[in-house]
Structure 1
Amino acid sequence: MPTARESLLEAAGAALSARPWPAVRMVEVAAAAGVSRQTLYNEFAGKAGLGHALVRREAAWYLDGVDRALGPPAATAERLAAVAEWTVRAARARPLVRALLTGCWNGNLPVPAGQGVRPGVPALGPAELVRSVRERADGALGSGEAAQRCELAVRLALSYLIAPAAQPGSGELLRLLNEPNRTAGGR
Structure 2
Amino acid sequence: MPTAREALLDAALSALTTRPWPTVRMVDVASAAGVSRQTLYNEFGSKDGLARALVRRAADGYLAGVERALGSPGGTGDRLAATAAWTVRAARTNALVRALLTGCWNERLPRPVRLAAPTGSSVPAQRRADAGPPTPAELLGLVCARAVAALDEGRSPHDPAALATTCEIAMRLALSYAVAASALPSDAAPLVREAVQRWSAA
| Deviations, residues 22-80 of structure 1 (Å, cap 9, x unaligned) | 11110000001111001101110110000000000000010000000000231110001
| 1:125 CA drift (Å) | 1.8
Q: Does 1:133 align with 2:150?
A: no
Pairing partner for 1:161 from 164, 178, 183: 178
CA distance in 1, matches of 2:51, 2:142: 21
Contact conserved, 2:89 with 2:185, CA < 8 A, in 1?
A: no
Q: Give the partner amino acid of 1:173.
A: A
TM-score by structure 2 length?
A: 0.81
Change (3 A) 1:8 1:122: closer
Q: Give the partner amino acid of 2:78.
A: E
**Bigger relative contact order (CA 8 A; separation at least 6):** 2
| Same amino acid, percent of matched pairs | 57
Aligned pairs for 1:10-49 (under 5 A) are: 10-49=10-49
CA distance in 2, matches of 1:156, 1:22: 33
Query: What CA RMSD, in Å, does the superposition of the two structures yield over aligned residues?
Result: 2.2
Aligned pairs for 1:55-70 (under 5 A) are: 55-70=55-70
CA distance in 1, matches of 2:171, 2:111: 24
CA distance in 1, matches of 2:38, 2:70: 41
Q: Which runs of 5+ in 1 are unaligned?
A: none
Higher mean C-alpha deviation, range 59-68 or range 141-150: 141-150
Q: Give the partner amino acid of 1:132.
A: L
| 1:171 CA drift (Å) | 4.8
CA distance in 1, matches of 2:7, 2:75: 39
| 1:141 CA drift (Å) | 0.8
Aligned pairs for 1:43-122 (under 5 A) are: 43-114=43-114, 117-119=115-117, 121=131
Q: Give the partner amino acid of 2:190.
A: R
Contact conserved, 2:81 with 2:189, CA < 8 A, in 1?
A: yes
| 1:169 CA drift (Å) | 1.9
Higher mean C-alpha deviation, range 132-141 or range 62-71: 132-141
Change (3 A) 1:72 1:176: closer
| Deviations, residues 97-119 of structure 1 (Å, cap 9, x unaligned) | 000000001111012343xx234
Contact conserved, 2:173 with 2:192, CA < 8 A, in 1?
A: no
Contact conserved, 2:113 with 2:133, CA < 8 A, in 1?
A: yes
Contact conserved, 1:141 with 1:147, CA < 8 A, in 2?
A: no
Q: Which runs of 5+ in 2 are unaligned?
A: 119-130, 153-157
Pairing partner for 2:167 from 129, 150, 157: 150
Specify the SS of the correspondent of 1:99. helix
